[in-house]
Amino acid sequence: MKIVVLVKQVPDSGADRNLRSDDNTVDRASASNVINEMDEYAIEEALRLQEAHGGEVVVLTVGPDRATESIRKALSMGPDSAVHVVDDALHGSCAVATSKVLAAAIAQQQADLVICGAESTDGRVQVMPHMIAERLGIAALTGARKVTIEKGTSVTIERQTDEGYEVVTASTPALISVWDTINDPRYPSFKGIMAAKKKPLQTLSLGDLGIAAGEVGFEGATSTVVEHSKRPPRQAGNKIDAGDDGGSKLVEYLASEKFV
């Protein structure tokens, strides 16, 4: 079984994140960049499936040169190899264009399973798994909290919902997106960190995928950020002093805010 895990390098959500003033894209150059948190759970699930059923785990990333740092971090957890799609023309790509690039790269791998996080912390649109599966013509088993493989040809997940879970089954090849309830990602060992430096890393350009520069980036984008601004600072709240009419004032305030 061949499993491709999608990994994205994102600005650390625990640090200050900004958009660039020149083109309204995420300022990644000055940010503290890390592996998208949800993708670590995807890597762990791929490794557990490999341990149970054998096969190969390949990490796939689309991003600038500096994304290599996150690729090596992912490899240190245990995957066998990685593919990095890097091209200056990709800057400014929307989700639709990015899904086209990822689908083309995945198609070259001829994977039995594609596993990714349910969302990225810098985008949080949760559309990438569905877009990629549609482009590849395979089933999308999204929002998984548990994955089971039967004879390498059938995959069943428990899809997490607000009310409980749904059981969804499909034949391979298929794409699975996971939530952080599915497992506990392992920490890279020193041996794993050293081994990651020697693991195969293939670099691909848009030309290698048969995609023209005009299909991605700002030129190929289906959406555009017109302007942006910082979130305004929080204002002081309303204070109601306790007293004979305190209860009435509280009810009046709640009514004015349409809470009652």
Q: What confidence score (pLDDT) does residue 191 get?
A: 94
Judge if the upstream peptide bond of residue 173 is cis by omega within 30 degrees of 0: yes
Q: Which residue has the higher pLDDT, 226 or 137?
A: 137
Q: What confidence score (pLDDT) does residue 122 get?
A: 84
| pLDDT above 90: residue 230 | no
Distance of CA 77 to the CA centre of its chain: 17
- What is the C-alpha to C-alpha distance for residues 49 and 144, in angstroms, rounded to an integer? 14
| pLDDT above 90: residue 144 | yes
> What is the mean predicted confidence (pLDDT) over 38-47?
97
Q: Comparing C-alpha atoms, which of 108, 113, 112, 129 is closest to residue 8?
A: 129
Residue-wise pLDDT tens digits, 102-115 = 999 999 999 999 99
Structure tokens at 84: 């990095």
Average of per-residue pLDDT values in the chain: 91
The pLDDT-based confidence of 89 (bands split at 50, 70, 90) is very high
Q: What confidence score (pLDDT) does residue 25 get?
A: 80
| pLDDT above 80: residue 242 | no
Pairing mode, if any, of strands 201-204 and 2-6? unpaired
